[in-house]
Structure 1
Amino acid sequence: MSQVAKVTREEWILNTFPEWGTWLNEEIEQEVVAEGTVSMWWLGCTGIWLKSHEGTNILCDLWCGTGKRSHGNGQMKKGHQMMRMSGVQNMQPNLRTQPFVIDPFAIKEVDALVVTHIHSDHLDINTAAAVHQNCPEAKFIGPQEVVNTWLSWGIPQEKTVVVRPGDQVTLKSIKIVALEAFDRTALITCPDETQLLAGKMPQEMDDIAVNYLFETSGGNIYHAGDSHYSNKFADHGNRYQVDVCLGAFGENPRGITDKLTSVDILRMAESLKAKVVIPVHYDIWSNFMADPQEIVSLWKMKKARLNYEFKPFVWQVGGKYTYPTDQDKLAFNFYRGFADVFVTDNDVPFTSFL
């Protein structure tokens, strides 16, 4: 029997996905975080893995799903938040544009899965299942409706922790502070497609979304989830030390406001009195993709006049960022390899080949 006759779709999928295999899992496990620093890896969308010097591991908002996979009937799902927001009827062309850089079912030694809000590209059943199966001591931390979803999936209640703004949870060496979220798209997310929201009081934001401050011995990381810009960021900046802030950046389509703009990202960082601002989320959806160099260009244009005391950082999915070691860098690049070039004799027919 020929080899090609034996290859099946299922075999292809198992041999190909996740595209990075366990490469990043292994890197995170092997990483020894230096004293006085904190390391984190971008997993796509707003997914972040945080690792402290003391070896505490926090997984936040890891999403292992996909966007559109078929044109279907070409219509938006009735009651979808984007439909409610703008009255749009045609399907949102939100295709996933990033590979899977981590294998959720190879995850080990996670102390907590922390989720910012109810949307499925942050609250993921695959991640929940993997953490539940592989990390029996891990806590599941989120606002009330996030926890309700976990419970409906079968996560034991004793593993869950409901947080509202002002709550604090300490996990080994990291203190997690829940803060107000400003995700107005979440407010018009309703699972009942027949329910009309016009003229009614909105949901309670604190039940469906929170922002987080992760306080570590190496620095404090502020995760804004899918928050839009809010003047309240300045209050958070007054009350807490923020070293690095992460915000959901994107190019909003016509008639839609769902992501922070480049200007919003700079305003958020200034309001939080952060030292570093890192845009995320712009990588994942084909219809919201944006160029983070726009943020850098605006920062360069305005920093002297507005006396900015922070720097932007352009990350890459799967890459590591260590604070404060990397605080003066403006962009990430993967290790290019070949550090051992010519440590042994090369083998070519003639030197002229070089």
Structure 2
Amino acid sequence: MDDVHSDWGDWLLRAVEQSDPEGLAVWYLGCNGFVVKASDGTTLFVDPYLGTGDPPRTVRMIPVPFDAADVREADAVFATHEHTDHTHGPSQGPILATTDAPFFGTDASHDVVAEEGWREAWDLGDDRFVEVSEGDTVDVGEVTVHVEPAHDPDAEHPVSYVFEHAGRTFFHGGDARPSDRFADVGERYDIDLGALAFGSAGRIPDKETGDPVDTQWYSGENDVTEAARQLRLDRFLPTHWDMWKGLTADPTALGPHVRGFEYPRRLELLEIGDSTTV
């Protein structure tokens, strides 16, 4: 299985390790990846993807922020769904191998684990892999993680996650689009910061034929704003807009879309490597 390599060195990982958040903090890893760290030191990785895609079909447009083998502190790795840029052995297997972190994902993500041979490649036992589904709740350190539904028409079994710690709540929607499921989540939680995938439509080569086809994998401006409204987000953090050549977007364009609504109350923009408190 191919290794991945970063030109950034390990400075971002060391910055996370040395941080001492008062409540809950997140670092944006580009694409849809995050590190979530709580005041008790609990460190969680969500959808970390360090691959370069599959050129020329999918071409990574941002740096690889660290080498997976350089991770020294991780208490869990979470995957929202089974797509390569969310469940990826070379990105996540070494994290599991160098820490005691378990991997949490749906049945579809665990199918990828089996197909890619993570257990054999990184000498990992079955106890390191925990299957989750909608309605489950997981406690990792002092962080409570709720597994919630997600509507992603391109995925086999997607979920979203709600991370709660010290009265603060971070929502990660994976690549999901707006739906009644998000409206229900928004009614049941008071979400301080929510991450939602945003991108443009483009022409991407077909996986089988190589012919360009009209492609939209993520919500556009109106849809992602609707999802943020359904979730009643205090702060809305767009993701994924930076990742794939031909499907990138300008997150500053979302300002006029969110300005006239009660929710989200604020648009928050991060670039790869940036952090914010929840």
Kept in 2: contact 1:58–1:113 (CA 8 A): yes
Judge conservation of contact 1:265–1:277 (CA < 8 Å) in 2: no
Give the corresponding residue for 2:196. Answer: 247
User: Quick one: which amino acid aligns to residue 64 of structure 1?
Assistant: L
Give the equivalent residue in structure 1 for 2:206. Answer: none
The separation in 2 between residues aligned to 1:215 and 1:56, in whole angstroms, is 12
Deviation at 1:139, TM superposition (A): 1.1
Matched, 1:56 2:42: yes
* Matches for 1:89-108 after TM superposition, within 5 Å: 92=57, 94-108=58-72
Cα gap change, 1:128/1:309 in structure 2, threshold over 3 Å: closer, same or farther? closer
Partner of 1:328: none
- 8 Å contact from structure 2 (residues 25, 38) kept in 1: yes
Residue 129 (structure 1) shift: 2.0
Structure-2 residue corresponding to 1:318 = 273
**2:200/2:216 contact within 8 Å kept:** no
> Where do residues 66-85 of structure 1 align in structure 2 (5 Å cutoff)?
66-70=52-56
Give 1:149's aligned residue.
112
> Would the aligned equivalents of 2:81 and 2:105 in 1 still touch at CA under 8 Å?
yes
**Counterparts of residues 206-225 of structure 1 (less than 5 Å):** 208-225=157-174
| Percent identity for Structure 1 against Structure 2 | 28
CA contact (8 A) 2:27 2:34 kept: yes
Indicate the RMSD between aligned Cα atoms, in angstroms.
1.8
State the match for 1:256 in structure 2. 215
Residue aligned with 1:293, SS? helix
3-state SS, counterpart of residue 66 of structure 2: coil
Specify which of 39, 47, 51 is matched with residue 65 of structure 1: 51
TM-score (norm: length of structure 2): 0.88
Q: What are the Cα deviations for residues 111-161 of structure 1, in whole angstroms up to 9, with x where unaligned?
A: 0010010000111111222122210x2111010121233244214211111
AA aligned to 2:240 is: H
CA distance in 2, matches of 1:21, 1:51: 20
Q: 1:33 aligns with which of 18, 21, 30?
A: 21
Q: Does residue 230 of structure 2 align to residue 280 of structure 1? A: no
Structure 2 match to 1:20: 8
Cα shift at 1:109: 1.7
Q: Which residue of 2 aligns with 1:45?
A: 31
2:79 maps to amino acid: V
Q: What are the within-5 Å matches in structure 2 for residues 180-219 of structure 1?
A: 180-187=149-156, 208-219=157-168
- The answer on whether the counterparts of 1:32 and 1:53 sit within 8 Å (CA) in structure 2 is yes
In structure 2, stretches of 5+ residues that fail to align are 204-213
More strand by share: 2
- My pick for the range that moved more, 159-168 or 258-267, is 258-267
Per the alignment, residue 124 of structure 1 pairs with 88
Q: Tell me, in whole angstroms, the C-alpha distance in 1 between the residues paired with 2:63 and 2:222.
A: 28
Contact 1:176 1:214 in 2 (8 A): yes
Matching residue of 1:167: 136
Q: Which runs of 4+ in 1 moved over 6 A?
A: none
Alignment gaps of 5+ in structure 1: 1-12, 71-91, 188-207, 324-354
> Aligned in 2, Cα 1:307/1:274: closer, same or farther, shift over 3 Å?
closer
What secondary structure sits across from 2:222 in the alignment? helix
Q: CA deviation at 1:218?
A: 4.9
Q: TM-score, with normalisation over the residues of structure 1?
A: 0.70
- Bigger shift: residues 236-245 or 52-61: 236-245
Shift in Å, 1:309: 5.3
Match for residue 179 of structure 2 among 195, 211, 230 = 230
